[in-house]
Structure 1
Amino acid sequence: MKVFLGFVLISGVGWLLDMVSYAALSQLVGVAPAYANFISSMVGVTYVWIIALNRLFDRREYGKSIYLPIYWGYQGASILAYSALISIVAASTINSKIGEILGVPHHLVAKIIITGPNLLTNFIFMTILTRFMKPGAQ
């Protein structure tokens, strides 16, 4: 549980990086929600990978190993799936109403809604992947 809570905290910072870049891309640049989500999510997951490996999983192979491309590959597939889900949720009437009530763009509400399931699947995958890595490797 301690590792999961640490992952939640580190992911929270990654999520903030993700949300700021997502909002900038979608609001300021006009990038479509699915594309903005993919780009911004890669920023966040790379941050989480580097910090969580050192501080939570006691793994230090992030810079010179095959595991980072594997993680990015998983994240790419995951981000594509969650981006498609964001597009569906963002287009829903309920999501639009929530956005109106909160005074927040509906595509930001959609991203917030999918954050929980995304966090859980990312933690599970990273936990499994790090089991293949050497502890404290340099």
Structure 2
Amino acid sequence: MKKLIIQFFKFLLISGTGWLIDTTIYTILTVILKYNVIFSNILSSIPAITFVFFVSTRKIFLTHIGKFSLKQKYLIYILYQIILIVTVSIIGQMLYNISEPLLNNKGLLKIIIKLTITPITMITNFFVMKFLAEKL
């Protein structure tokens, strides 16, 4: 249990860096360039996902080389992320559409939505990454 907690906090640190990458790109796309939430969230996630995967598999999790190579695990992780990101992006866009009439500052609303969905994806990503790295 202690190992799991240590891994989780290390993952939070690395994911936090990935989140900064993601959120910076997302903010530029939504607030400055005025792109919609769904497109921006999908596009901003790609560099963050790649960063978190490769740093985590080298620094946090004991990468088990079994049936799948690290490259194959990355492809599996990308497929998982595509499903997760598209789902979360659709939910984020729906939340934006519902909340838009309630808040005059549309840029702030887009950031609030990003902050709302982040904890869910971060916790899910930890367990998926742990499984991919250590069990497959």
Partner SS, residue 91 of structure 1: helix
Q: Which residue of 2 aligns with 1:67?
A: 73
Decide whether the 8 Å contact of 1:96 with 1:106 is kept in 2.
Answer: no
Decide whether the 8 Å contact of 2:64 with 2:134 is kept in 1.
Answer: no
Question: What's the CA shift for 1:39?
Answer: 0.8
Tell me the matched-pair count: 129
Residue 124, structure 1, aligned to residue 127, structure 2: yes
Select which of 87, 91, 98 maps to 1:81: 87
Give the distance between the partners of 1:105 and 1:129, measured in 2 at CA.
Answer: 35
Q: Which runs of 5+ in 1 are unaligned?
A: 134-138
Which 4+ residue blocks in structure 1 deviate beyond 4 angstroms? 94-97
What letter corresponds to residue 119 of structure 1 in structure 2? Answer: M
Question: What's the CA shift for 1:32?
Answer: 1.3
Structure 1 pair 94–81 and aligned structure 2 pair: CA distance change class (3 A): same
User: What pairs up with 1:46-61 in 2 under 5 angstroms?
Assistant: 46-59=50-63
Aligned-residue sequence identity (percent) comes to: 25
Select which of 93, 98, 104 maps to 2:99: 93
Larger relative contact order (CA 8 Å, sep ≥ 6)? 2
Q: Cα RMSD (Å) of the superposition?
A: 2.4
What letter corresponds to residue 113 of structure 2 in structure 1? Answer: A
Q: Deviations over 1:88-114 (max 9, x none)?
A: 2222339944x85xx952111101001
Decide whether the 8 Å contact of 2:100 with 2:109 is kept in 1.
Answer: no
Give the distance between the partners of 1:113 and 1:89, measured in 2 at CA.
Answer: 10
Give the distance between the partners of 2:101 and 2:25, measured in 1 at CA.
Answer: 21
Structure 1 pair 68–110 and aligned structure 2 pair: CA distance change class (3 A): same
Decide whether the 8 Å contact of 2:73 with 2:132 is kept in 1.
Answer: yes
Give the distance between the partners of 1:129 and 1:18, measured in 2 at CA.
Answer: 22
What's the TM-score once normalised by structure 1's chain length? 0.82
